[in-house]
Each structure stands twice: as C-alpha cells, then as structure tokens.
Amino acid sequence: MLVLTAVLAVLAIAAGVVAVTRKPSFHGSVIDPPAPASEIHLTDSNNQPFTLSSQRGKVVLLYFGFTNCTNECPLTMAKLKQTFDLLGNHADKVQVLMVTTDPTRDNPAQMKNYVTQFNPAFLGLTGTPDELQQVYKDYGVAVESNGETHTTFLYVIDQKGNFRLTFIGPEMSPQDLAEDVQTLLKGN
C-alpha cells in the first residue's frame, strides 16, 4: 500500500510538471520560435499616423487586401468580425488591421468606410507607394495588378510584437482563431 501511494504521488507530480511546462496547442500555423514583427509606419483610416509598436499590449490580426476586392477580402473580414464577436469582452485587447494592396483607390476615408462595415474598431492602413512597398517587402506580400493579386495570409502578432501564428484568411475558422487569440491573451 505504501509503494502504491508513493507511485501515485510520483505520477501526480509528473502530471503537474507536464501541465505547467506544456506548450499551448494552436489551430493556426505556429511560428516557432516567435519572431519580431517588422515595424509598420502608415496612415490609419482615421487619417492619423500609425505604428505597429503603438499596439503593444494587444494581439494584432494583420491582413493585406483592398476595398474593391469581391472574394477573399470581404470573406476574410467577415470571418474577423465573427472572431471579434466570439471574443466578447476580450475583443478590446485585440486590434484588426487591414493594409491596402491598392493605394491608388484606397485612401483613408475609403478604408474607414470599408473596415467599419465589419466592425467600428477595425483599422484600415494606407500610405505612399514607397511606405507600402516597404511593408509588403517586410511581410512577404506580393502585390500585382492594382492590388488584385495578393497574399491571403492573416498574421497573428502577440502582445509583445512577435509573430506567433498565420492563418489562410478565407479558409480560417473564426472559432479556431478566437481560441488561439484567447490562448495568447493568457500570456502563452
């Protein structure tokens, strides 16, 4: 009986160590080790200067698209709206950003009109061609044909400014994204 009690105690301690040291399980594609996200200097949809570093302390959901898109962009933005709805009270700790891939047509007012249709807290970002080219380069985004060909990745950046996950925007599950965001909000 004493041996059985000792074995159970060892198993309980081992289970506790595993639970404490276990890495969280994510639905998105994990970036391991996390890598610092490149700074972004653009203009937001309120026509104000924007930097990514100003979002420290929040989980950032970063998407590249354009307001005249008829397929991937509205589908991804709708899924981000659903994700935001699922987050409830935690949504104020998350910032959705859409960087334009069509700066010729997407000025701050156009971006604001577009992103706020999905959620008033979402921000659209635009800038000069040179500013945007730097962001596209830093994030590995290919843009052709006035924004009509672009990546469909959603980048998830944690509260410390590190890349943590990617999702394919149109294919992602809002529930999966919400669960991953909640895991990051817990500090994992």
pLDDT for the residue 11: 42
Across the range 72-95, mean pLDDT stands at: 96
Query: Rounded to an integer, what distance in angstroms lies between the CA atom of residue 112 and that of residue 72?
Result: 18
Give tens-digit pLDDT for 132-179: 999 999 999 988 876 766 678 999 999 999 999 999 888 899 999 999
Distances from the Cα of 148 to the Cαs of 3, 118, 128, 152, 162, in angstroms?
Answer: 69, 21, 18, 11, 28
Which residue spans within the chain are E strands per DSSP?
29-36, 41-44, 49-51, 59-65, 94-100, 123-126, 153-157, 162-168
Residue 60 has pLDDT above 50, yes or no: yes
User: Can you give the residue ranges of every domain in the chain?
Assistant: 27-185
Give tens-digit pLDDT for 100-112: 999 999 999 999 9
Percent of the chain with pLDDT over 70: 85
Residue 9 has pLDDT above 60, yes or no: no
Across the range 42-71, mean pLDDT stands at: 96
Q: What is the pTM of this model?
A: 0.86
Size of the chain in residues: 188
pLDDT for the residue 13: 54
pLDDT for the residue 188: 79
Across the range 6-35, mean pLDDT stands at: 64
- Token pair listed for 57: 């302390």
CATH class of the domain defined by 27-185: alpha beta
Q: How confident is the model at residue 45 (pLDDT cuts 50, 70, 90)?
A: very high
Q: What is the mean pLDDT of the chain?
A: 88
Q: How confident is the model at residue 20 (pLDDT cuts 50, 70, 90)?
A: very low
pLDDT for the residue 5: 55
